[in-house]
Amino acid sequence: MNFLITGAAGFLGAALANRLAQAGHTVRGLDDLSAGDPARLLTTVHLTRGDVNDRPKLWTLLQGVNCVYHLAARVSVAESVLYPREYNAVNVGGTVSVMEAMRDVGVRRVVLVSSGAVYGEQSKQPLSEDLIPEPASPYAVSKLAAEYYVRTIGQLWGIETVALRVFNAYGPGQALPAAHAPVVPQFLLEALSGASLVVHGDGTQTRDYVYVDDVVDAMVAAATARDVNRRVINVGSGRETRVTDLIAEVQKAAGSQVSAIYNRREGGGVSRMCADITLAARTLGFHPRVSLADGLRLMMERDKRFQALKVR
């Protein structure tokens, strides 16, 4: 098949692009490289630097494409609180641009990578797709709006659509920006370097940590799965993990004692989050294979940053 992946040089986008290219598919990528790294990609992935709001460029890249994976987005919850207009422009406006270009060229399937963040604070766990979302940040609002745009434009113009609500994905090569770094690689980095782990809130909040290879399995399946049109599907591990339990697993993986500093003045986000993956199992044949302990071990083995610290 022929694929276009927006956000192809990002953490999830590159993992998906490389998997598809290794399977013999033709993969084109689009990324503005504001956060992506071309070094993540195999040479067989055809990467173009550009913006998802550049419709003429999209028209060119979409020629002959069977399916689009739309991952291009700004992804920091904390940053979105400060810059909601920018998040709307990229995450919502960019999604509409992709859908319009697909309509113009005649591409017939899109897989939108959304986020479990759209659920917000819920009294019921695990989180099933029929719950009414309660987005608690501009980032979450932008992802939910993107879902609605994809589904509505798809319905109007005969484009098959599926939105995957990915929970807390982690794995080798995940970026570690100076501000608002993802918790799993940040904790590993701190544990291996002998620093204290900084926990926002009291550490009792839970998240669903899903390994990158499992996420890619779901994304690959979504390109050809039947009976998924207009669906929203959770992609997670289906396991609920407290931050304090994550710290214990990081300590085991790093092989060293760690101390934690609890910043209770800083909110830890929603209190609980765990994906109900029943629908993913039924529609995508999705069954996560990598436990949190194994995922942390694989990060240690496959990520050069952690290997170097381990040697020291």
Measured CA to CA, the distance from residue 49 to residue 38 in angstroms comes to 10
- DSSP codes joined into one string, 17-62: HHHHHHTT-EEEEEE--SS--GGGS-TTSEEEE--TT-HHHHHHHT
Strand 206-207 and strand 241-242: the pairing is: antiparallel
* Max CA pair span of the chain: 58
Residue indicated by tokens 């996420």:
215
Q: Which of 111, 135, 122, 142 is nearest to 7 (CA)?
A: 111
- Of 118, 125, 143, 112, give the one whose Cα is nearest residue 275: 125
Residues 6+ positions from 182 with CB-CB distance below 8 Å: 168, 170, 174, 175, 176
3-state helix, strand, coil in the chain (%, to 5): 45, 20, 40
Dihedral over Cα of 20, 24, 28, 33: its sign:
positive
Give the H/E segment covering residue 130: none
Which residues form the catalytic set? 139
